[in-house]
Amino acid sequence: MPRRSVADTAKTRAAILDRSVALASVEGLEGLTIGRLAGDLDMSKAGLLGHFGTKEELQLAALDAAGAVYRREVWDRAASVKPGRARLLAIADAWMSYLERDVFPGGCLVTAASCEFDDRPGRVHDAVLAQHEQWLGVLAHEARRAIADGDLPRGTVPEDVAFTMNAIAMGVNQAHRLLGDPDAPARGWRAMRSVLHAPRARRRFG
């Protein structure tokens, strides 16, 4: 019985997080309310709170879950590729595919949270900031390797490559979700290849 209870608890927590991430991608992390989630999941408010304690803890858990999905969809698909420009190109392919496929119903939650909490001090802001700083660091590291390998011009600033790739992805998310531009992911893909000084070969993501 204890093992079954632990398994059931984990399953319920996972269901809460899945619904929280989907809802937050549409309505923002501030849109997560205990009452709304309890109703959606046919749970009591007390039962739901028992898993997280406070709304802030729920927001942090949802952000962490969204980050795990992002890593799976973008980084994990490129991790086995040769470090440097080849890996950055694989990241670009996976990133645009992730945005085009609407992995989250409301678009990229990580991107949305960066806009929602950019001027709101607190633990959620700090968690969003940490995610972005880590990702920019990954991109800059790969750019540094590409420069050392001669695949990017000397004088290229690694942090500029990371900044530009991230800015392109955020622009694609906005154009795809807000403007309804069906060509946004393809535009982003071409823009990233320009940043990486790579030929605009046949589109590979999808």
CATH code of residue 93: 1.10.357.10
Residue type, 101: R
Residue 10 domain-assigned (yes or no) = no
Is residue 191 included in any domain, yes or no? yes
Query: Taking the model in full, what pTM does it have?
Result: 0.89
Phi-psi region of 14 (alpha: psi -120 to 50; beta: other; left: phi over 0): alpha
Domain of residue 108 covers: 55-195
Quick check: 2 pLDDT over 70? Answer: no
Q: Is the pLDDT of residue 4 over 80?
A: no
- Return d(Cα 168, Cα 172) in angstroms, integer: 6
Residue 187 located in a structural domain? yes
Condensed to tens digits (0 to 9), the pLDDT of residues 153-185 reads: 999 999 999 999 999 999 999 999 999 999 999
CA-based Rg of the chain, rounded to a whole angstrom? 19
Q: Assign residue 63 a region: left if phi > 0, alpha if psi is -120 to 50, beta otherwise?
A: alpha
Give tens-digit pLDDT for 38-82: 888 898 888 888 888 888 999 999 999 999 999 999 999 999 999
Residue 1 pLDDT greater than 50, yes or no: no
